[in-house]
Chain A
Amino acid sequence: MWQALYENLEQTVAAILFGIGFTILLLQRNMIRKIIGLNIMSTATYLFLASMGFIEGRKAPIVMDGVTDAAAYINPIPAGLVLTGIVVSVSFTGIMLALTVRLYRRYRTLDIDQIALLAKGEDLP
């Protein structure tokens, strides 16, 4: 089993990183740390995808010197998926940061539990 984990080192690392990011996003109380966790989590998935598309000894799938044989290049689809994923995670980071700014302006703290307590004390409009 250890042998298999070592042979797929990138995937193993990606899975561990995903776990770390997921836990931070779920359990940390500080909003900024949550956002960092979100980014660790999504980056781990990109590592996973990119390492899966990589084939030892082949080049990036950009036709430069007229070689059109598919056997010369690595699989381009995971790279496309990673690019899409990056766009998604950038927009999510943006939205979460905007939410955080709004929460901070209103409650002067970044601690989500404390914010929830403060909000509970407010009267319903």
Chain B
Amino acid sequence: MTLARNFPFFSILLCLVGSVLTSVLKPKAARALTVIISGVVLVLSAFTLRYALAMDAAEPFMMGHFPAPWGNELRIGRLEALMATGISGVLFVTLLAGFYHMPAFVSDKKLGLYCIMVDLALGAILVMLYTNDLFTAYVFIEIMTIASCALVIVRQNGHTLVAATRYMIMNLLASGLVLLGISMLYGITGHLLMEPLGRSVRQIYETGQYMEPLTVVIALITAGLAIKSAMFPFHAWAPDTYAFAPPMSSAILSGLIGKAYIFLLIKFIFRVIGLDIIVASHIDSILFACGVTGMIIGSVMAISQRDIRRMVAYSSVSQIGYIYMGLGMGTEVGVAAALFQMLAHAAAKSLLFLSTNELTSVSGDRKRFHYLHGAGYRNPVAGVVFTVGAMSLVGIPFTGGFVAKLYLATAGMPLGGWVRALVLVALAVSTLLNAVYYLHTVVSIYRRAPAEIDYPPSHRVPRHAAAALLISMLMTVYLGIGSGPIMRVIESGLKMFA
């Protein structure tokens, strides 16, 4: 089935053409088209995954008429296809479940524009997953930045405006760092494609010349991508942005867009620089330290929130910390565990943001825990879905989060003495803290509602939205039960990376 090797390119093209098309359609048609595009991308990615599972080595896909050292390339491998399938699947159910309450946040006229940005964001995510060229990755980082800022700003109030401005400024700083890093890398190697880059970097490392610029490059690009994915000391923009954006945007931003940046970082680490050189430069130790601190601090901050949206937003900071801890271990098993955590978090976080919105909307749009009492009875589907998502992030067995934590702990075992202890202690403490705030929330949504508060008459959740929420819940459960094959794909995909 050689047609399937064109599918990554088709799906990218589909997103970009779709975003142009949506700009001339009426809001309702634009909405439908966006959902259809994400569904088609899901199917195409699934076929690509099937194709990738059958091949022995990753294949480059030439774009345009110039061969390897000069031209632009995509690269089709198992890991890329797996992540594309996961991300487009999560996006598809997010759109199905989230679109119907967008009118509460966005005027009808803006909804068409919002759809353009969703398409662009999906296209940019796909390019960052598949591209083999560092500068193309940079260009799409910028497109993603613009799209994600627009996803936030679409809700017109002061809080959102300020949050979006902060988000934009941090992203611009990060883009500057990445661009300077890529320029310097081009300066010392003369390449932009990842394979020749990897070979030149290896040469530089072996001769020992230009080691300082190389270290600066690694630091610049890692810092840039870490800021963009809200790693701990750079997370300041994240909670406000996630809390004030429309819920569907928060789900896309936190669940999917952040993951694309991290995936690009993993590609940079494995394919451009090489894991051993990263370990020799000690950048991975910094990532590890930031990850562990983020896991704890993010959870502590989440406990102190009185507002459910902000709590879920802060828990993102802690979950991103897990990913960086896995990355920072500097071993392939650690990175594989981090990749699984990325999938588990993407699935769980998007359903948490969406079900949180359902719960607050049946409580008169009030987000304080006090008002949420009984919300699990007023909207049973959202209650169950929220509970499962929370259980996944806490790490209860049979959910994706549990397996991710298990893999992280297993990956920590072969590490040296105190690092192993640190991994296990951090996982234990963070799990405990997660349990404190998530179980508290679950208990409070199932508590009897106080009589003195009058709630709005409950509205019916459209069937497709409820079904989508349930499907995303099943995805989280599937990640917990069927994790073996997924982990094998991740491991063999990582082998193809080198």
Binds A, one of B27-35, B89-97, B166-174: B166-174
Contact B159 A119 (CB under 8 A): yes
Is the C-beta of A64 less than 8 angstroms from some C-beta in chain B? no
Contact of B172 among A25, A48, A84, A112 (CB under 8 A): A25
Q: Quote the shortest CB–CB distance from B299 to chain A (angstroms).
A: 24
Q: Quote the shortest CB–CB distance from A98 to chain B (angstroms).
A: 9
Contact of B180 among A48, A92, A96 (CB under 8 A): A48
Residues of the A chain whose Cβ atoms lie less than 8 Å from the Cβ of B365: 125
Q: Quote the shortest CB–CB distance from A83 to chain B (angstroms).
A: 11
Once A and B bind, how many residue pairs between them come within 8 Å at the CB atom? 86
Task: Give bound CA distance, A46 to B176, whole Å.
Answer: 11
Q: Which A residue sits closest to B155, measured CB to CB?
A: A125
Q: Give the bracket for the number of chain B residues in contact with chain A.
A: 20 to 34
Specify which of B146, B164, B180 lies most central, judged by the most chain A CB atoms within 10 Å of its CB. B180
Q: Quote the shortest CB–CB distance from B206 to chain A (angstroms).
A: 22
Is the C-beta of A9 less than 8 angstroms from some C-beta in chain B? no
Given A78-B186, A125-B157: A21 and B135 interface contact (C-beta under 8 Å): no
Q: Interface residues of A: mostly helix, strand, loop or mixed?
A: helix
Residues of the A chain whose Cβ atoms lie less than 8 Å from the Cβ of B158: 106-107, 118-119, 122
> In chain A, residues 23-55, which have Cβ atoms closer than 8 Å to a Cβ of chain B?
25-26, 31, 34, 38, 41-42, 45, 48-49, 52
Task: Give bound CA distance, A81 to B133, whole Å.
Answer: 13
Contact of B176 among A34, A42, A95, A116 (CB under 8 A): A42
Is the C-beta of B435 less than 8 angstroms from some C-beta in chain A? no
Q: Quote the shortest CB–CB distance from B307 to chain A (angstroms).
A: 9
Contact A103 B135 (CB under 8 A): no
Is the C-beta of B162 less than 8 angstroms from some C-beta in chain A? yes
Give a binary string over B346-390; 1 marks a CB under 8 Å from any A CB, 0 the rest: 000000000000000000010100000000000000000000000
Task: Give bound CA distance, A84 to B184, whole Å.
Answer: 16
Contact B168 A95 (CB under 8 A): yes
Q: Quote the shortest CB–CB distance from A62 to chain B (angstroms).
A: 18
Given A99-B161, A119-B162: A41 and B168 interface contact (C-beta under 8 Å): no
Q: Which B residue sits closest to A115, measured CB to CB?
A: B162
Is the C-beta of A71 less than 8 angstroms from some C-beta in chain B? no
Give a binary string over A85-109; 1 marks a CB under 8 Å from any B CB, 0 the rest: 1001001100110010011001100
Contact B157 A112 (CB under 8 A): no
> In chain A, residues 45-81, which have Cβ atoms closer than 8 Å to a Cβ of chain B?
45, 48-49, 52, 77-78, 81
Contact of B159 among A38, A42, A124 (CB under 8 A): A124
Task: Give bound CA distance, A26 to B176, whole Å.
Answer: 12
Contact B135 A84 (CB under 8 A): yes
Contact B176 A21 (CB under 8 A): yes
Contact B146 A49 (CB under 8 A): no
Task: Give bound CA distance, A91 to B146, whole Å.
Answer: 9
Contact B179 A45 (CB under 8 A): yes
Given A45-B183, A78-B186: A25 and B165 interface contact (C-beta under 8 Å): no
Residues of the B chain whose Cβ atoms lie less than 8 Å from the Cβ of A103: 161-162, 165
Contact A99 B168 (CB under 8 A): yes
Q: Which A residue sits closest to B179, measured CB to CB?
A: A45
Contact of B146 among A38, A41, A95, A118 (CB under 8 A): A95
Is the C-beta of B149 less than 8 angstroms from some C-beta in chain A? yes
Specify which of B139, B161, B162, B175 lies most central, judged by the most chain A CB atoms within 10 Å of its CB. B162
Residues of the B chain whose Cβ atoms lie less than 8 Å from the Cβ of A125: 157, 365
Contact A95 B161 (CB under 8 A): no
Given A52-B183, A96-B168: A106 and B176 interface contact (C-beta under 8 Å): no
Give a binary string over B147-164; 1 marks a CB under 8 Å from any A CB, 0 the rest: 001000100011101101
Residues of the A chain whose Cβ atoms lie less than 8 Å from the Cβ of B180: 18, 45, 48
Q: Quote the shortest CB–CB distance from B348 to chain A (angstroms).
A: 26
Q: Quote the shortest CB–CB distance from B455 to chain A (angstroms).
A: 18
Q: Which B residue sits closest to A91, measured CB to CB?
A: B146
Given A41-B176, A92-B146, A102-B161: A81 and B169 interface contact (C-beta under 8 Å): no
Contact A34 B187 (CB under 8 A): no
Task: Give bound CA distance, A42 to B176, whole Å.
Answer: 7
Q: Which B residue sits closest to A51, measured CB to CB?
A: B187
Contact of B142 among A34, A38, A92 (CB under 8 A): A92
Contact of A26 among B146, B149, B164, B173 (CB under 8 A): B173
Q: Quote the shortest CB–CB distance from A26 to chain B (angstroms).
A: 6
Task: Give bound CA distance, A116 to B367, whole Å.
Answer: 21
Given A88-B142, A91-B146, A95-B168: A49 and B183 interface contact (C-beta under 8 Å): yes
> In chain B, residues 177-201, which have Cβ atoms closer than 8 Å to a Cβ of chain A?
179-180, 183-184, 186-187, 192
Additional A-B contact list (5), CB under 8 Å, known A99-B153, A107-B158, A119-B161? A18-B176, A26-B173, A45-B176, A81-B183, A91-B142
Between A and B, 15 residue pairs with Cβ closer than 8 Å are A25-B169, A41-B176, A45-B176, A45-B179, A48-B183, A52-B183, A52-B186, A88-B142, A91-B142, A91-B146, A96-B172, A107-B158, A115-B162, A124-B159, A125-B157
Report which B residues bind A (CB closer than 8 A). 135, 139, 142, 145-146, 149, 153, 157-159, 161-162, 164-166, 168-169, 172-173, 175-176, 179-180, 183-184, 186-187, 192, 365, 367
A-B interface, 9 closest residue pairs, ranked by CB to CB distance from nearest? A119-B158, A119-B162, A88-B142, A52-B187, A41-B176, A122-B158, A49-B183, A45-B179, A116-B162
